Amino acid sequence: MSEISKEQVKHVAHLARLAITEEEAEMFTKQLSAIIDYAEQLNELDTDHVKPTTHVLDLKNVLRKDEPKQWITQEEALKNAPDKKDGQFRVPSILE
């Protein structure tokens, strides 16, 4: 019942920061529609009075003291970077 349109797929790809070709858009439209259609079976269940499970162990907030610790150096943080300059990550232009 729930068809996803190609336009929706393209919008979702943009939100997810994925560049997809026209061909991929068609493939994902078909596949995501089939998966969402399959997921519709959950609507057979009445869950109005069921609490959602976000975490199986029902943990409460886990707190600790906020103490600064030496973790990694600036040099280490940068060593796997694809591009860097003057001790910072370098990226393409953000503003036109």
Partner 1 sequence: MSLFDHKLKDIQELLHKKEVSVRELVDESYRRIEEVDDQIKAFLTLNKEEALKQADEFDRDGAQSGNGALFGMPVGLKDNIVTKGLRTTCASKILDNFNDPLYDATVVQKLKEAKAITIGKLNMDEFAMGSSNENSGYMATRNPWNTDYVPGGSSGGSAAAVASREVFFALGSDTGGSIRQPAAFCGVVGMKPTYGLVSRFGLVAFASSLDQIGPITRTVEDNARLLEVIAGHDHMDSTSANVEVPAYSEHLEKDMKGLKIAVPKEYLGEGVSEEVREAVRKALKVYESLGAEWEEVSLPHSKYAVATYYLIASSEASANLARFDGVRYGVRSEKAENMIDMFKLSRSEGFGDEVKRRIMLGTFALSSGYYDAYYKKAQKVRTLIKQDFENVFEDYDVIIGPTTPTPAFKVGEKIDDPLTMYANDILTIPVNLAGVPGISVPCGFSSEGLPIGLQIIGRHFDEQTVYQTAYAFEQATDFHKQQPQLGGAGK
What are the residues binding partner 1 (CB under 8 A)? 4, 8-9, 12-13, 15-20, 24, 28, 31-32, 34-36, 38-39, 41-43, 45, 47, 50-57, 59, 62, 64, 72, 76-77, 79-83, 89, 91-94, 96
Whether 38 and 57 have beta carbons less than 8 Å apart is answered as no
Burial call 32-61: b when 16+ CB within 10 Å, e when fewer: bbeeeeeeeeeeeeeeeeeeeeeeeeeeee
Distance of closest approach, residue 35 Cβ to partner 1, in angstroms: 6
Which CB, 26 or 43, lies closer to partner 1? 43
